[in-house]
């Protein structure tokens, strides 16, 4: 795959990477050469980034690619077909607004933004193809479908707990993926989606000895350089079902995100998830 600051002719899909200097941003740059139909035309960092003006390829360890890191998202979007956001929760609202104004499909891999953006996400999905993916691993997408199916099939006497481990620098707990898995479990059991604030409190403190039958528990660990591990635990009387996904290389998220972005660039306006991309659906 070639990278450059200028657009190229079809059928290449031109992509803007937002948050390009972060862990996922550099992983996306390193994974992009495997996608022959993809051309990275924009590398966006925050206005305060020390990487502004540098070559994005050198930051990612790829050598000179002539793709300059910039903070001018509207200009980058004007030369792109799709954008991927792996920046910060605080920057997401502005990035979403810019993508909507430019009428460009937008993949959100950023987590930790809570319910404050719900209205903005609904509004944007009326105008652009929007994929909200707290985890872009294909395996995690299947895990979500399996979680929903298991919650639907098992009786309510089975407790449901989401256990997750990540690297010590990950700020949000529980992770966006853990919350997505809890929503899948709640949907399977016919419960209301879990509240993110209540989930964070549950993950940060020990659970009382008694629990409601419909409560979904959370436990979070931040340590070392763990890429990511999620377990959905169904605990019954005398038996236990455990669904586990472990990522050992951040490249799995980058490859999944780039493949999903290529798919998203062809979609009509609407809100999508990774299960839409992989075509794995469960029904209640």
Contact at 8 Å (CB) between 282 and 185? no
**The Cα angle at residue 54 between residues 52 and 59, in degrees rounded to 5:** 105
Active site residue 170: yes
* Helices marked H in 32-105: 56-59, 73-78, 89-102
Cis peptide before 174 (omega within 30 of 0): yes
Compute the distance between CA of residue 134 and CA of residue 111 in angstroms, rounded to an integer.
Answer: 6
**The Cα angle at residue 176 between residues 29 and 33, in degrees rounded to 5:** 15
Active site residue 104: no
Compute the distance between CA of residue 59 and CA of residue 114 in angstroms, rounded to an integer.
Answer: 30
Contact at 8 Å (CB) between 150 and 243? yes
Using alpha carbons, select from 165, 170, 161 the residue that is nearest to residue 194.
161
Q: Distance of CA 212 to CAs 102, 149, 156, 250, Å?
A: 47, 21, 10, 36
Using alpha carbons, select from 163, 162, 166, 109 the residue that is nearest to residue 135.
109
Q: Of the listed 66, 104, 170, 237, which one is catalytic?
A: 170
* Helix (H) or strand (E) segment spanning residue 64: none
Q: Of the listed 66, 104, 166, 230, which one is catalytic?
A: 166
Compute the distance between CA of residue 122 and CA of residue 172 in angstroms, rounded to an integer.
Answer: 23
What residues are labeled active site? 166, 170
């Amino acid at each position: 795959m070639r990278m450059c600051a200028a657009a190229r002719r079809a059928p290449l899909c031109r992509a803007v990477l937002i948050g390009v200097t972060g862990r996922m941003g550099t992983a996306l740059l390193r994974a992009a050469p495997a996608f022959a139909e993809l051309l990275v035309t924009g590398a966006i960092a925050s206005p305060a980034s020390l990487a502004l003006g540098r070559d994005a390829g050198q930051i990612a360890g790829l050598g000179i690619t002539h793709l300059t890191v910039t903070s001018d998202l509207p200009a980058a979007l004007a030369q792109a077909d799709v954008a991927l956001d792996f920046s910060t929760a605080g920057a997401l609202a502005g990035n979403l607004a810019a993508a909507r104004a430019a009428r460009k499909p937008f993949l959100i891999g950023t987590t930790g933004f809570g319910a404050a953006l719900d209205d903005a996400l609904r509004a944007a999905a009326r105008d652009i193809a929007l994929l909200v993916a707290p985890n872009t691993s294909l395996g995690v997408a299947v895990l979500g479908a399996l979680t929903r199916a298991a919650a639907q099939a098992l009786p309510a006497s089975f407790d449901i707990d989401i256990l997750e481990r990540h690297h010590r620098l990950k700020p949000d707990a529980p992770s966006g993926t853990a919350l997505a898995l809890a929503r899948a479990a709640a949907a399977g059991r016919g419960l209301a989606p879990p509240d993110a604030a209540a989930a964070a409190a549950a993950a940060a403190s020990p659970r009382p000895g008694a629990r409601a039958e419909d409560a979904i528990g959370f436990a979070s660990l931040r340590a070392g350089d763990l890429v990511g591990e999620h377990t959905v635990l169904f605990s019954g009387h005398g038996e236990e079902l455990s669904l586990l996904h472990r990522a050992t290389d951040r490249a799995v998220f980058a490859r999944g995100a780039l493949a999903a972005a290529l798919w998203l660039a062809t979609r009509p306006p609407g809100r999508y998830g990774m299960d839409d991309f992989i075509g794995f659906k469960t029904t209640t």
